[in-house]
Amino acid sequence: MAIVELNDQTYQLEVTKGTVLVDFWAPWCGPCKMIAPVLEELDHEIGDHIKIGKINVDHNPHASQQYGVMSIPTLLLFKDGQVVETMVGFQPKDRLLDKIKNHI
């Protein structure tokens, strides 16, 4: 499965079923650039068990405001529409896998 670009109009629908990891990011953010390849690796390894989406906070302020995103990257893990984990800042792949595996 590929990483999905989300926006203020689509993110609600995308997080309602299953386990979804959403990355709130911006192109000018250094740690966001660092975590992008980690998310690509996760998508290749466990993409059949989880959906990964990205929301550009500069272009989609509604989603950021709704979830109180104050720093980026912020990663929200949804399970059937409910936020079950929140992670702020760069996260190593092992830590992300541990958090995700608790919900798939």
- Measured at the alpha carbon of residue 46, what is the angle toward residues 42 and 96, in degrees to the nearest 5? 45
The span from the CA of 88 to the CA of 69, in Å, is 9
pLDDT band at 1 (very low <50, low <70, confident <90, very high): low
Average pLDDT over residues 16-43: 96
Q: What average pLDDT does this structure show over 56-79?
A: 95
- Whether the per-residue pLDDT at 27 is higher than 70: the answer is yes
- For residue 44, what pLDDT is reported? 94
pTM above 0.75, yes or no: yes
CATH topology assigned to domain 4-99: Glutaredoxin (3.40.30)
Task: Quote the pLDDT of residue 59.
Answer: 95
Q: What is the mean pLDDT of residues 42-62?
A: 94
8 flagged as catalytic: no
Residue 29 falls in the annotated catalytic set: yes
Residue in 15, 20, 21, 32 annotated catalytic: 32
Domain limits, the chain: 4-99
